[in-house]
Structure 1
Amino acid sequence: MPIMAMRVETNPLEMAYAVLLEHGLEGAGEALRILVNEAAKIERSQFLGAAPYERSERRRDYANGYKPKTVLTRLGELTFQVPQVRCGDFYPSALEKGTRTDQAVHLALAEMYVQGVSTRRVIEVLQRLLGPEISLSTAQVSRAAARLDEGLAAWRERPLGEVPYLFLDARYEKVRLEGRIVDCAVLIAVGVDATGKRRVLGCTVATSEAEINWRRFLESLLARGLHGIKLIIADDHAGLKAARKAVFPSVPWQRCQFHLQQNAGQFVTRQEAKKHVAATLRAIFNAPDKAEAERLLKAALDTWRKEHPKLAEWAETAIPESLTVFDFPAAHRIRLRTTNGLERINRELRRRTRVASIFPNMDSCLRLVSALLAELDDEWMTGKVYLNLNP
């Protein structure tokens, strides 16, 4: 009679105990690795609605192996096995929380490498940041810096999917280029994906917002699999406008209402008149539907042609570009009519890049910006739904 192979189940808690008994506190890192790996496996089973090898009507997906992730923790570098699922919509909370230290290290490294800080000084700063008990060597810092650049490059080049709503914006940073200090454009793409969550899709640093630079950036998003765009929300910039028409010729464009309202002020000189024009624009933007918005706009243009002819000439073309949002669900309009959702990004970038003042090169600027945006993308990915796309 053939002998059946028996699967021997090991108890992770007993394994962790054994490591501590054999190695004492020096084995704390390995014990933590064992326990976190087991907690992640249990959480995956709960997410799937079924235990390994279990047949269940409650099952929502299937396990898809493991992916190693090395994290710089207070116990040193630890490599965990992150459980994967086929749909990719799962990440263990234990490691998610644990990456906060990892993110802090990466952001600190990015900022300090930008300023040419020595590895010894990096260690001192990280110990102040994470606690004096953290043990780091110069070799660890160098390896972490190398992994930082590799990881950020992988994040910028990761595959993309369906993104119904695409937001585009740019800001400028001072960079030393060929012996001169110039203002370089940081191009940023943010989207609302098919699940209704915001995601940072990509970023790049270019010498300007010229059409060629925007076009290369947009084409790189397409090459990574970006598709399903129903609306692009952006400000009015000649380079971006031309690139958008070339790369996404059939996708509607929503001009940012906030910036448009600011631009309107330059065509009006008297302060009282500016307030009245601003109120009129708000009434147009807050109209219940497109027909009413167009009626209010027509009435405003009739008045402005007499009182503010330059404003009327500009508004006749500009304002209709900001009414595209009325063609989309009413529940989505408040989120789609401006690029103000990117203001948090710009504020945080401004706060962190102010430390560097002038970047020594474009690569150092891209490193810091990427580190900040990757952290924000993690927050959004694990956070609440931004837009309900299936009301």
Structure 2
Amino acid sequence: MTQFQFNLNIEDLKDCIMKSDIDAVVKASVVLVLNSVMEDERDKHLNARAYERSTDRRDYRNGYYERDLIMSIGRITLRVPRTRNGDFSPSVFERYARCDQALVLSMLEMVVNGVSTRKVKNIVQQLCGESFSKSLVSSLTEKLDPIVNKWANRPINTMYYPYIFADAMYIKVREHNRVVSKAVYIATAINEKNEREILGLKVDHSESYEAWQRFFQHLQSRGLQSPRLIISDAHKGLKKAIGTEFVGTTWQRCTVHFKRNIFNQLPKKDMDEVKAALKGIFNVVKIEDARKLKDEFMEKYEENPKLENAINTLEEGFEDAIQYLNEPTKYHHHIRSTNSLERLNQEVRRREKVIRIFPNTQSAFRLIGAVLMDIADEQAKKPSMIGKK
């Protein structure tokens, strides 16, 4: 693990703390840390520490320049190291600015388009200062949109994805002076290297067969091959689109959603034994054992009129919910539900709720795309834990 040596100005930090200005404390801490990170990056680029004599030196230090960085904590000014040849570029601005720029840009658009609330305007002023205009919106858009669009349309034909997860979440967007609900389609996958990967996203009018079909066709146009399993909830349009676009692919019904649907059909009281029996059906490693436990459950409770609806639900969706048991055991925990994708959606929600109502569809695509890019970057750095149980 890389270790950084921070030369912190303790007096400046203490002064901020003593004045009880928590915003200044946070900003000062972030500035000190990021400045030290950039200094360490320059040392590695030069292959020599400050005042170090080295025959392997690549270049020489050439002072610093100031540059602003907009983050969710506000605008901060960093002391950026330079080199004599000018070919050193710190990673801080690319790594930390992309998602925060998308967030700021979405709020700026609300202000410029005259649809912001006082709260949003105050947030924008804290993030960007008193002056913000259409020219600032345009400059940020020109920088950020090509990056997000390139990522969202990147080729995915160099890797096979045996397991794909699909889900949709709803957001609010202002369109033709009205606030409308739109669906955000997100697909993730486990690739042939057992790594999780975010495949793509699309913003469409509603969750329907046609919209899911367009989303899948978009993934296919980028090179996606038919997977072994697609894991999702039981939305009818989604199921139909899977059957249309991925011939030969098996649909795995999310077991978490499925069990929840069955439990909702049960009486409210004295159902602990029944629920335990239902959960046990899905806690096996062989598909034959699951079918055996399900048959035993039916024989035991089929005469109970209070459980008729729950039993009908179990009977109707059972086979679709146990298809993961046909796959290698090491994958069972990871492919029986859409929990991993729902955790991803929650992270998107955490940033999206700051906006509440997007000023337009492109703004929504930009912010959600930037959030997913940042998450994808973090995932790529972590070793795969899939199949290691």
Q: Quick one: structure 1 residues 77 and 166, their matched pair in 2 at CA, closer, same or farther if it must change by over 3 Å?
A: farther
Q: Quick one: structure 1 residues 41 and 214, their matched pair in 2 at CA, closer, same or farther if it must change by over 3 Å?
A: farther
Identical columns (%): 29
Q: Which residue of 2 aligns with 1:344?
A: 343
Equivalent-residue separation in structure 2 for 1:288 and 1:320 (angstroms)? 15
CA contact (8 A) 1:211 1:243 kept: yes
Letter of the aligned partner of 1:306 in structure 2? Answer: E
CA contact (8 A) 1:192 1:198 kept: yes
Equivalent-residue separation in structure 2 for 1:179 and 1:145 (angstroms)? 22
Q: Quick one: structure 1 residues 306 and 179, their matched pair in 2 at CA, closer, same or farther if it must change by over 3 Å?
A: farther
Report the TM-score, using the length of structure 1 for normalisation: 0.70
Equivalent-residue separation in structure 2 for 1:35 and 1:310 (angstroms)? 64
Q: Which one of 152, 155, 166 corresponds to residue 151 of structure 2?
A: 155
Q: Quick one: structure 1 residues 346 and 33, their matched pair in 2 at CA, closer, same or farther if it must change by over 3 Å?
A: closer
Q: Which one of 205, 208, 214 corresponds to residue 206 of structure 2?
A: 208
Matched, 1:266 2:264: yes
After superposition, residues 281-300 of structure 1 pair within 5 angstroms as 281-300=278-297
Cα offset for 1:180?
3.0
Q: Which residue of 2 aligns with 1:227?
A: 225
Q: Quick one: structure 1 residues 219 and 178, their matched pair in 2 at CA, closer, same or farther if it must change by over 3 Å?
A: same
Equivalent-residue separation in structure 1 for 2:331 and 2:108 (angstroms)? 41
Q: Which residue of 2 aligns with 1:197?
A: 195
User: Over residues 147-196 of structure 1, what are the superposed CA-to-partner deviations in whole Å (9 max), with x where a residue is unaligned?
Assistant: 11111111110111321210001111122233332221111001112222
Q: Quick one: structure 1 residues 256 and 114, their matched pair in 2 at CA, closer, same or farther if it must change by over 3 Å?
A: farther
Q: Which one of 74, 80, 84 corresponds to residue 78 of structure 2?
A: 74
Q: Quick one: structure 1 residues 105 and 183, their matched pair in 2 at CA, closer, same or farther if it must change by over 3 Å?
A: closer
CA contact (8 A) 2:162 2:227 kept: yes
User: Over residues 272-306 of structure 1, what are the superposed CA-to-partner deviations in whole Å (9 max), with x where a residue is unaligned?
Assistant: 22x33321221011013111111001111223421
User: Over residues 352-376 of structure 1, what are the superposed CA-to-partner deviations in whole Å (9 max), with x where a residue is unaligned?
Assistant: 2212122222222222111111111
How many residue pairs get aligned? The number is: 313
Q: Quick one: structure 1 residues 140 and 366, their matched pair in 2 at CA, closer, same or farther if it must change by over 3 Å?
A: closer
CA contact (8 A) 1:152 1:370 kept: yes
Q: Quick one: structure 1 residues 379 and 114, their matched pair in 2 at CA, closer, same or farther if it must change by over 3 Å?
A: farther
Matched, 1:370 2:369: yes
Cα offset for 1:40?
6.8
Cα offset for 1:212?
0.5
Q: Quick one: structure 1 residues 181 and 276, their matched pair in 2 at CA, closer, same or farther if it must change by over 3 Å?
A: farther
User: Over residues 115-174 of structure 1, what are the superposed CA-to-partner deviations in whole Å (9 max), with x where a residue is unaligned?
Assistant: 3369x999964579xxxxxxx999777433311111111111011132121000111112
After superposition, residues 1-391 of structure 1 pair within 5 angstroms as 39=44, 74=78, 95=91, 99-116=94-111, 125-126=126-127, 142-160=138-156, 161-227=159-225, 229-273=227-271, 275-307=272-304, 308-388=307-387
Equivalent-residue separation in structure 1 for 2:339 and 2:108 (angstroms)? 31
Equivalent-residue separation in structure 2 for 1:365 and 1:325 (angstroms)? 34
Equivalent-residue separation in structure 1 for 2:183 and 2:204 (angstroms)? 5
Q: Quick one: structure 1 residues 270 and 141, their matched pair in 2 at CA, closer, same or farther if it must change by over 3 Å?
A: closer
Q: Quick one: structure 1 residues 126 and 315, their matched pair in 2 at CA, closer, same or farther if it must change by over 3 Å?
A: same
Q: Structure 1: 5+ residue runs without aligned partners?
A: 1-31, 43-70, 83-91, 129-135
SS in 2 for 1:286: coil
Equivalent-residue separation in structure 1 for 2:342 and 2:246 (angstroms)? 24
Q: Quick one: structure 1 residues 102 and 270, their matched pair in 2 at CA, closer, same or farther if it must change by over 3 Å?
A: closer
Letter of the aligned partner of 2:231 in structure 1? Answer: I
CA contact (8 A) 1:233 1:339 kept: yes
Equivalent-residue separation in structure 1 for 2:161 and 2:189 (angstroms)? 6
Letter of the aligned partner of 1:112 in structure 2? Answer: M
CA contact (8 A) 2:99 2:374 kept: no
CA contact (8 A) 1:105 1:126 kept: no
Letter of the aligned partner of 1:320 in structure 2? Answer: E
Cα offset for 1:107?
3.7
Q: Quick one: structure 1 residues 113 and 281, their matched pair in 2 at CA, closer, same or farther if it must change by over 3 Å?
A: farther
